Structure 1
Amino acid sequence: MSASIVVPSGPGHGATAPGTVPAAAPGLSGKLAIGMAGVLLAVLVAGFNEHVTEAGLADIRGALSIGHDDGTWLTAIYEACNVSAMAFAPWFASTFSIRKVTMTMVGIFAMLGVLAPWVPGLSALYVLRALQGLAAGALPPMLMTVALRYLPPGIKVYGLGAYALTATFGPNLGTPLAALCFEYLGWKTLFWEVVPLSLLSILCVGYGLPQDPLRLERFKQFDWPGIILGFAGISMLVIALMQGDRLDWFRSPLVCHLIVAGVSLFVAFLVNEWFQPSPFFKVQMLGIRNVAYGLAGIALILVMAAATGLVPSLYLTEIQGYRPLQIAPMSLMLALPQLGSLLLVSAICNLRWVDCRWVMAAGLVLTMAFCWAGSDVTSDWYRGNFYPLQWLLVFAQPMTVIPILMTVTLKLAPSDGPFVSGMFNMTKGLANAIAAGFVDIMMTWREHTHSNILLDHVGSQRFMAPVAPVQTQGLAGLAEAVHRQASVLALADINRAMILITLVMLLLTMALPERVFPPASAHVPASPSRS
């Protein structure tokens, strides 16, 4: 079939007639490039803050005298507000302008970071983290919007690669930053590290991005039921996923109520959006093959990315007793080379004769190779064993994220940009919560299973021989040895489960999406090709 290439622009621009190719965007000026760099910096800083405070949570709890259970709510509340804000931020950007929303949210985000160590109590810290999560969650949709709106066709794919940094490079840099802040600068800098880069981001955005006119008349059709239903439903689901393992999932009345209410409210939200004249989500877009594939795909890919990133960190923390400073070299080895691999993958996908679906398939194969090799993990592994495996992810993650972004965005009309941005980013945030819940479920389930098997084996050996581990090591030593080995086997099982998820994603890639061509080839007549 012949592919019509439609370059999305920002809200407020005229829609392109179906099947036509819009005029090329003007060249990227230095001033505009500075503004876009400021938006990218803002999104990266928001991601750093999320992962730095999560990696340094034990140190924050110790400094503020917060118990373990109370501390988990700091992460859950932040994540719930973060994901919920992603769904609704594009509407406010269309109303107040990308420039104002970005500068305001970054300013609030940095100010709350300054105040965090001085809050008077735990309840106040919960409120502060909720507000900071709202501000941080509003930023990723801004980056996708400016990349699609302002970049000329020749480099638009590189803009999508810059957005992919937030899903690959940013999370992998969280542990090294946490180690640097706590070990050398003090626990308060786990909150304050966002301030200098936030100020730089505000200066760049204020200088470089143009100011769109206010469109306050949009409030006459504001979707009040949608924001109430959607915000409540998404927040409940995220909190249930983040707290489920600690509260023993469906044995907890709180988790049951959160899941039932969250699913019900979110379904009601989608029904409401279907009939709204000015919705936050354009649910009808799910009928587009590439959009449906993209939303399902980004969820599966980010679950895989989060799980494959968590397994080495969990192993080194739980089995070998590493501190964040000792894990930092492994995280840096994954994060820093991705700056080059993202550019390389973007350049490859920007070639007309390269089908990004095949790039995606190759990235999935590399991910499967990582999981297959990681399934052989033993209690003798150390940090150096993971280095060769990390090189697979250096290329696999960009090769999966960038083609997904191209598939979703490059065949949409300009007026659909804000809708797909909200849906895509909300799915992206929800996938991280799903990944955390999935890893928790697998660790608990498989560790219990392997512990029972190992204890049965020890009991059988003791029955057959008078000298048994329980006599030579004592009960405490036996429990520690069984827990250690069961945890290693559970981590291996997570890698095996990731192979199955990757295989499902590979089958979807082969069957569902239609081919898209890079915007750089818009001036070249499209030759017939099979979907």
Structure 2
Amino acid sequence: MSSPTPIPAAAPSPTPFDGRLAVGLFGVLIAALISGINDRVTEITLIDSLGVFGLGHDEGTWISTAYAAAEVSAMLIAPWLAITFSIRRFAIAVTVVFTLLGVIIPMSPNLQTLLVLRVLQGLAGGALPPLLMTVALRFLPWNIKLYGLSAYALTATFGPNLAMPLAALWTEQSDWRLVFWQIVPAGLVGAALIAYGLPQDPLRLERFMQADWMGAALGMGWISMLVIALSQGERLDWLASPIIVAMLMGVAVCLPLFLLNEWYHPLPLFKLQLLKRRNFAYGLSTLCLFVIVATAGSAIPAAYLMEIHHYRPQQVMPIALMIALPQLVLAPLVAFVINRHWLDSRYVLAGGLILLTIACIGASFITSDWIREDFYALQVLHAIGQPMVVVPLLKNATGVIAPMEGPFASAMVNALRGMSAVVAGSAVENFITQREHFHSNVLLDAVGSRWHTLSPLVTQGSVAELAERVRGQALVLSFSDAFLALLLIIAVLFLILLTLPKRAYPPQPPVQP
């Protein structure tokens, strides 16, 4: 690890912390959490929703793709809009719009209307997580800033893992429309708390004269095209599809132009110069890779139980809850621990990576005999390890960010984190599919080599049973390979930890003149 740097002096907080600000921050947290939960719940329950709308699988995938592209694109521009219209005013508006769209979507009369409404909801929902980080960096005083960042960490650890239990609740125990309507009470409460608690900044409409219009067009363009390519690539056979080829070519053109524009623009959406600060570059790269590990940590056990043992979401629910619920205590606890001058938070982060490594090694020994209870100990390791990684990396990354730079940092962190979530989902699914094909071919070759001795004993029914057993074993082996692949990502995280970040001290009180 790099040598420590002198303890920096923190900039004074622009607003004294009081109870009203705590209420406002809690409102933004609620809004950000329901945004992530809505995304995951609707994705999990897609099959049930398609039947109600009378849509097929291919049409359903485009609904998910459109939402994801809009959501990540909004993360790029939300901090700029929040500063322009004021954080309080913008947060209330997008929370209310997001909530109202949730009410309307189940009433969609056709596919076109459903697509438009989901895109609009994706734009509103994607704007909410960046606001939570922006508020924490903009308003919180030095002595509780880490606790505000631990609240943001819940959007990466608590929210996504709560989605499976909620999906099971609404689809198996209640009305399917609650998949969309579940956000309404929390959304209205969140908007009310924001209105009560957040300070009201003035409008800054003069920023439109300096707006980075080219950056917004290029940024939202390459993000949308990359999301489409990643989410539709496997279904459309990648480079065999003209659509995927066009999307990838668009990314190849727009992304370099976007980066070049952001480097020279006086008021960019991405302030790339922040990457010169080693701790910010470390936090950004680590968060992107961690999202893949965290996503797979709950997605792979759930997929295994559903595919091999045909569990319903309600039966998988305890697996997700074992990661989700402890975060409400562990995230602020980790913030409390690392908010000490004598403790180097890099060692806490390394401890979290070690726990995740042990969990992945243990899970790689998976067999077809494993049931839900066999995952419990491994999920406990994930529950403890994930906040030990996320909270310290946020401390390291934001410790070098001044309050006025918060919107730039928030746009970069959230847009790339959102893109990483799309990459994670696509990578895990495609990796398991490819490994299943590989193992199926190997197993079928082994069966074929002994077919001359087995064929006299084989009946039509036993052939079907044999094919099903081969597929099941191939899936189990592919899940094992997926856990081993996660070890490679964790190894990269260790390498980055050992080489890039400097020691970050807790925030300090402002220097008195």
Question: Is the 2:4–2:502 contact (alpha carbons within 8 Å) kept by the matching residues of 1?
Answer: no
1:353 positional shift: 1.1
Counterpart for residue 485 of structure 1: 473
2:10–2:507 Cα contact (<8 Å) kept: no
Question: Which residue identity does 1:197 align to in structure 2?
Answer: A
Match of 2:463 in 1: 475
| 1:50-77 deviations in Å (ceiling 9; x for gaps) | 1111111111011111111111111111
Find out whether 1:359 has 2:340 as its counterpart.
Answer: no
Provide the residue aligned with 2:335 in structure 1.
346
Partner of 2:425: 436
In the TM superposition, what is the alpha-carbon distance from 1:485 to its structure 2 partner?
0.9
Asked whether the 8 Å contact 2:146–2:335 carries over to 1, the reply is: yes
Inter-CA distance 256–185: structure 2 relative to 1 (3 Å threshold): same
Matched, 1:496 2:472: no
Q: CA deviation at 1:303?
A: 0.8
Name segments (4+ residues, structure 1) moved above 6 Å: 521-524
Counterpart in 1 of 2:416? Answer: 427
Instruction: Give 5+ residue unaligned stretches, structure 1.
Output: 7-19, 525-531
1:115 to 81, 104, 108: 104
Residue 39 of structure 1 is matched in structure 2 by: 28
- Paired residue for 1:91? 80
Q: What are the Cα deviations for residues 483-502 of structure 1, in whole angstroms up to 9, with x where unaligned?
A: 11111110100000000110
After TM superposition, give the deviation of residue 471 of structure 1 in Å.
3.2
Q: Distance in 2 between matches of 1:220 and 1:522?
A: 34
SS at match of 2:203: coil
Q: When the two structures are aligned, how many residues end up with a matched partner? A: 510
Q: Is the partner of 2:450 in helix, strand or coil? A: helix
Q: CA shift at 1:398, angstroms?
A: 0.3
Give the conservation status (yes or no) of the 8 Å contact 2:230–2:423.
yes
Amino acid at match of 1:250: L
Q: Matches of residues 42-441 of structure 1 in structure 2 within 5 Å?
A: 42-441=31-430
8 Å contact 1:303–1:432 — kept in the other structure?
Answer: yes
Gaps of 5+ in 2: none
Deviation at 1:4, TM superposition (A): 5.6
- Structure 2 Cα separation of the partners of residues 191 and 297 of structure 1: 32
Closer, same or farther in 2 for the Cα pair 1:462/1:295, shift >3 Å? same
Does 338-347 or 493-502 show the bigger shift? 338-347
3-state secondary structure, aligned to 2:155: coil
1:326-378 Cα shifts (integer Å, max 9, x gaps): 11122112111121111221111111111111111111111111110111111
Q: Is the 8 A contact 2:10 2:508 kept in 1?
A: no
Matches of 1:491 and 1:358 in 2, distance apart?
A: 30
Distance 1:132 1:261 in 2: 25
Q: Distance in 1 between matches of 2:262 and 2:218?
A: 10
Residues 509 and 216 (structure 1 numbering): CA distance in 2 closer, same or farther, change over 3 Å?
A: same
The CA deviation at 1:105 is 0.5
TM-superposed CA distance for 1:413, in Å, is 2.5
State the Cα distance separating 1:462 from its structure 2 match.
Answer: 1.9
Deviation at 1:449, TM superposition (A): 0.5
> Which amino acid counterpart does residue 356 of structure 2 have in structure 1?
T
What letter is aligned with 2:131?
M
Aligned partner letter, 2:168: A
State yes or no: 1:463 paired with 2:465. Answer: no
| TM-score normalized by the length of structure 2 | 0.96
Counterpart-to-counterpart distance in 2, 1:430 and 1:105: 21
**Contact in 1 for aligned 2:11/2:402 (Cα 8 Å):** no
For the residues of structure 1 that align with 2:6 and 2:424, how far apart are their CA atoms?
A: 35
Distance 2:358 2:245 in 1: 37
Classify the secondary structure of the residue corresponding to 1:519: coil
